Structure 1
Amino acid sequence: MRRRLEELRSEHRDLDDVIARLQETAPFNQLQVQRLKKRKLALKDQIIKLESQLLPDIIA
């Protein structure tokens, strides 16, 4: 599970770099950027879900 979490984090960082590079070049494909941002958000949700499974709630 930890390995999967690291893979997701890595992909999330990579998408961040790709989005930044795409936005630096004018004109850039807005639809492509939107799709990448949507994928990045989905990855973030998966990361949060995995982190919550790995770290138990301390508040009891």
Structure 2
Amino acid sequence: MQAQDPTQIAHLLAELRQEHRDLDAAIEKLVNTLGCDELQITRMKKRKLLLKDTIARLESRLIPDLDA
């Protein structure tokens, strides 16, 4: 994941945000299911946190560096 071009980063961000939303919906659905798999939910939540961290790093790369 070495996108350098701001356009590539923005496209990747859109994909990651969509995956994050999809995971959120899937987790919500599993939590509301009787006899849900706690291990699967935990793994999905970890993936969601990883996505959130990746999104934050990519967003910070889009902010231009300012020379003081």
Q: Which consecutive residues of structure 2, in runs of 5 or more, have no partner in the other structure? A: 1-8
Q: % of aligned pairs identical?
A: 54
1:10 positional shift:
0.3
- When Rg is computed on C-alpha atoms for both structures, the one with the higher figure is 2
Task: Kindly tell me the number of residue pairs found equivalent between the two proteins.
Answer: 59
Q: Which runs of 4+ in 1 moved over 2 A?
A: none
State whether structure 2 residue 53 is matched by structure 1 residue 53.
Answer: no
2:19 to 11, 14, 17: 11
Bigger share in helix: 1
Instruction: Give the TM-score normalised by structure 2.
Output: 0.81
Q: Which consecutive residues of structure 1, in runs of 5 or more, have no partner in the other structure? A: none
Instruction: Give the TM-score normalised by structure 1.
Output: 0.91
> 1-side partners of 2:65 and 2:25: how far apart?
32
